[in-house]
Amino acid sequence: MGMVVRTNMGAINATRNLNKNQKGQMGSLEKLASGFKINRAADDASGLSISEKMKAQIKALNTASENAANGQDMISTAEGYLNEVHDMLNRMVELAMKSANGTFETANLTGGVNTTANSGAVYGAGTDRNALQSEMNQLCAEIDRIADTANFNNVKLFDGSMATKDYKVLGDAQSSAPTDALYAKYGAQSYSNAYWTTVGAGTDATVTSGLVLQVGETSSSSDRMTVSIKNMSTKALFYSISTYKNMDGSMSASATSAFNILAWNDKNTVVSGGTQVANGYTLDISGQDRAALVAEALRGVINSVSEQRSELGAMSNRLDYTINNLDTASENISSANSRIRDTDVAKEMTKYTQFNILSQAAQSMLAQANQQPQSALQLMG
């Protein structure tokens, strides 16, 4: 190329390389400062798309792990309440066994706690069994109180709202009962297939599906887990103690017949016409024979609560594995996302140093190129 003064190609070339090196230097500086290899889509369009999907998956996995941990906390809370229910039921067995002993005072066995004529009063029990019956009533009332009030973050635990099927099946008289104890009765009709259902809804039957925990990243059933807790009121717990079981083992027509071992509790109210409305039940230990039946029947109730506690314990153990699995998946996907998205500091620092040196060299060469036109002036002198 000839010697010219109008177009300094050396300076143009040096400036281009200087800009290129400075741009690379600024890019490396941005990556080192942010810690991200991909700061915008222009850095790596496909890499950004993959990384953002992974970030969403990681967020979902971490949240699911927290959900599972919250579920464990709820289960632990419920299990703590049930431990107290167990203690009370064991005490009730003790009371029934005491009353079943013939050494206690007995006055007259013509009535019981739950006879309509007595309106719930203990009749003919004697002073000793009156005292035992009083404690029995209070324990049953406390079980109902727990069933009504126990909650976790305002989610009721034992009112039946977390049961997969309704357990509130006691109440109005019927000629016979379904063989499946989980069937729900609605309305006051006498028994017929039309008024019993596993999924029905109405006065006495509320369809529930348990409490669903979101323990996975998708909305599929595989990523959800259902916690089921039965209704723990006396009305539900004592279902296994037939409403109509008499002292002699026969079946009565209604819950208010004499000698039934299932009785209205202190929350019983009377409405117009003298109709009794039972909000909960107690167990009649006012007579020796009745008390023996109660002690025997309560063992089945205890087994039912034990079964519920076992189910909750198994669910809690399962959630341990679920949490471990979610945390491991999150960790591995985070590692994969890091390789795509995060800056390799050592590698990027090497590039930054390279661009820095090249920029300094380009600046030096630009200064030299700007001196080239001076040689042409010397020829003109």
Q: For 215-254, what is the HEC assignment?
A: CCCCCCHHHEEEECCCCCCHHHHHHHCCCCECCCCCECCC
Partners of residue 263 on adjacent β-strands: 282
Cα-only R_g, the chain: 40
Partners of residue 282 on adjacent β-strands: 263
Inter-residue contact 203 to 271 (CB < 8 Å): no
CA-angle at 48, arms to 47 and 53, nearest 5°: 100
pLDDT at 59: 94
- pTM here is 0.68
Give the integer Cα–Cα distance in Å for 357 and 362: 9
Fill in the DSSP letter of residue 292: H
Burial of residue 225, with CB atoms counted within 10 A of its CB: 0-12 exposed, 13-18 middle, 19 or more buried: buried
Give the integer Cα–Cα distance in Å for 332 and 58: 9
Closest CA to 234 of 200, 198, 207, 266: 266
Inter-residue contact 261 to 243 (CB < 8 Å): no
Q: pLDDT tens track of the chain, all 381 residues?
A: 567 777 788 888 888 888 888 888 888 888 888 888 888 888 888 989 999 999 999 999 999 999 999 999 999 999 999 999 999 999 999 999 998 888 776 654 444 444 433 333 344 456 778 888 889 888 988 898 898 889 999 999 998 888 765 433 434 333 444 444 434 444 433 344 444 443 333 344 444 567 889 998 888 888 888 898 888 888 788 866 654 444 444 444 444 444 456 665 554 444 444 444 455 778 888 778 778 888 888 988 899 899 999 999 999 999 999 999 999 999 999 999 999 988 888 888 888 888 888 888 888 888 888 877 777 777 776
CA-angle at 178, arms to 172 and 181, nearest 5°: 90
pLDDT at 166: 41
pLDDT at 164: 67
pLDDT at 315: 94
Q: Please provide residue 183's backbone torsions phi and psi, each rounded to the nearest 5 degrees.
A: -65, 150
Burial of residue 99, with CB atoms counted within 10 A of its CB: 0-12 exposed, 13-18 middle, 19 or more buried: buried
Return all residues near 52 (Cβ < 8 A) that are at least 6 apart. none
Give the integer Cα–Cα distance in Å for 16 and 365: 11
Structure token digits, residue 168: 């509130």
pLDDT at 239: 67
pLDDT at 279: 59
pLDDT at 335: 93
